Structure 1
């Protein structure tokens, strides 16, 4: 099975938005990057935007997070 490399996508957001995203990610045991991906997929599906390569019936699974030492 061929895998594709992930790509970097940098954005600037207001601090209170980041805090909210971090809280949501922690509640769902996701990384902040994975939470962003989940939110984008949900947004696109809700509005009918095409998502080539993303299965129709699932959102990305939570990715394992590194534990603090």
Structure 2
């Protein structure tokens, strides 16, 4: 299985929202980073936003 490069995302959120995220991640036995990814993938799936597979890149984008 090939490893996939990951991208770093840094953002600021309200401390109460962060605590909610930490609690959700703990309940799912996930890291906070993985929980954020799961939430984003769920949102995109429910709203018709395609996420390319790891080896696919959108044309003209540098994935930054």
TM class by smaller structure: 0.7 to 0.9
Give the alignment's TM-score, normalised by structure 1. Answer: 0.72
Moved segments of 4+, more than 4 Å: none
Q: How is 1:21-40 mapped onto 2 (pairs within 5 angstroms)? A: 21-40=21-40
In structure 2, what is the equivalent of residue 64 of structure 1? none
Q: Give RMSD over aligned pairs.
A: 1.3
Say which structure, 1 or 2, has more relative contact order (CA 8 Å, 6+ apart).
1
Give the alignment's TM-score, normalised by structure 2. Answer: 0.77
Segments of structure 1 that go 5 or more residues without pairing to the other structure are: 55-69
Segments of structure 2 that go 5 or more residues without pairing to the other structure are: 55-64
